Amino acid sequence: MKINLKFNVWLIILILSNTVIFGQDKYWTLEQCVTRAFENNITIKQSQLQLENSNIEKNSAVANFFPNVNASLNHSWNYGLNQNITTGILENITTQFSSMAVNFGVDIYNGLQNVRRLHRANLSIIANEYNIEDIKDDIGLLVANAYLQIMFNREILTVQKQQLEITIEQLERTKALVQAGIIVEGDLFDIEASLANQQQTLIQAENAYRITKINLAQLLLITDYENFEISNENYDVPFSQILDESPKDIFIKALSHRNDIKRAITNLEIAETDIEISKGALQPSISAFYGYSSRISYSDRIERTGEFNSVPIGYLSTTGEPVLTDVEKTKVVGPMSITDQLNMNDGHNFGLQLSIPIFNRLIAKNNVKRNLINLDIVKNQFEQDKLDLENTINQSYNNTSAAYKFYQATKKTVLARSDSYKNAKNKFEAGVINSYEFSQIKQQYESSVSDEVRAKYDYIFKLKVLEFYFGLKLEI
């Protein structure tokens, strides 16, 4: 019975631990998890697409400095009653014509709108870059929290296994004490009940450990949950001097490096630039233009031959003799060559255009007013962001300070209850106290150990958040 009980308990531990010990192809560090999250996060991908849009807007802003060049070609067929140039008779005929034109236009001055649009496009790129980094900051904290949750549940699992081993050993000693007549057999039942309860607690700890691994794996878009495991390194409570800083100093430091603050400042500049752009529409604009055009005909034409005929144009009233004039002979020939027609029919059009806005149904003025209001909105939002950041830092500082003090208190409690447990163990084995009293003291000690682990990781996470606001790299 003794051998079978130990065998069954260790078999349970081995089965529960199997997913941790075997099948691990890779152990993920926090840095690897954060990198993986950055590469696969959909929100970051969406922000990167927004950044690409901003780059396109910049290309458009640069292109505004280039001239507009447009070309047009036209070919038409005219069918209907027209005069035949070879016969002079009106008849239904089809004629064809081609025409072409090239137009060139460039802005010389338009209230500096092109310059300010380029400046705005550059600011938009910067704002989107800050936005991506801000999202990465939030994701990094989210991953770190999930990572620490795994570390916490893994350490709790280790504690539960150790406590189960101690209970198994205590059960064996209790059996020996019963056989020696030092304690009654009823105390053995209490130890066995405690063992069964710890086996249940171990299963719960294993499930909690597995669930936190799944949560982090899903955050990283990893589907092989069973083979996902974080690094097996043991982490002690980190030493940090961040609590020596005042919340005000941390806030001032955060204003200089926080990406959300940098993004808010950039949005302020964008709002101010929008005002200047809208004001530029109220100023006169000057543009230059140039145009070239020509045309081609495909109809036959009449050409002079250089020979002349004498044709009577009247008669003398006195003698009746005819009055003659020389008329040059003509002949019908095909159309001129395309090159000759283009050269002969070409035309040029160029000049300057001044446009003075007088009244455009208040569109331009209302745009200025809207942008002024938007600037006030952005300023108010910026002030609110700073207030929120300061409040968050103050709360984070207080939480970290309290978590550190609580962790120190739990360490003292563990030491005290450890001594109490050792003393109770000796008394129980000597028959001074019964198994119920011993189990209560032992349970208090085990609870204090779990509280210490929980307080440890709660403090670590709160400390890392505070360090993160101070500008330190997120690492464990």
Task: Calculate the alpha carbon distances from 128 to 44, 63, 180, 209, 318 in Å.
Answer: 11, 21, 78, 38, 102
Residue 164 confidence class, pLDDT cut points 50, 70, 90: confident
Residue 289 confidence class, pLDDT cut points 50, 70, 90: very high
Helix axes 113-179, 2-21, angle to 10 degrees: 170
Reading phi first (left if > 0) and then psi (alpha if -120 to 50, else beta), residue 111 is in left
Per DSSP (E only), the strands in 62-172 are 68-83, 90-109
**End-to-end CA, the chain:** 47
Per DSSP (E only), the strands in 319-455 are 322-333, 347-355
CATH level 2 (architecture), domain 2-300+335-470 = Up-down Bundle (1.20)
Say what the pLDDT of residue 167 is.
Answer: 82
**Number of residues assigned to the chain:** 476
Quick: pLDDT tens for 84-105: 666 667 777 778 889 999 999 9
CA distance 149 to 411: 20
Residue 320 near residue 268, CB atoms below 8 Å: no
Quick: pLDDT tens for 235-252: 677 767 888 899 999 999
Nearest to 289 by CA among 102, 117, 110: 102
- Extents of the domains making up the chain: 2-300+335-470
Looking at the whole model, is its pTM more than 0.75?
yes
Residues 6 or more apart whose Cβ sits within 8 Å of residue 234: none
Residue 37 near residue 143, CB atoms below 8 Å: yes
Q: What is the mean pLDDT of the chain?
A: 86
Residue 112 near residue 59, CB atoms below 8 Å: no
Residue 201 near residue 146, CB atoms below 8 Å: no
Residues 6 or more apart whose Cβ sits within 8 Å of residue 188: 171, 174, 175, 178, 435
CA 188 to chain centre: 61
Say what the pLDDT of residue 405 is.
Answer: 92
Residue 53 confidence class, pLDDT cut points 50, 70, 90: very high
From 192-206, 207-221, 368-382, the region with the lowest mean pLDDT: 192-206
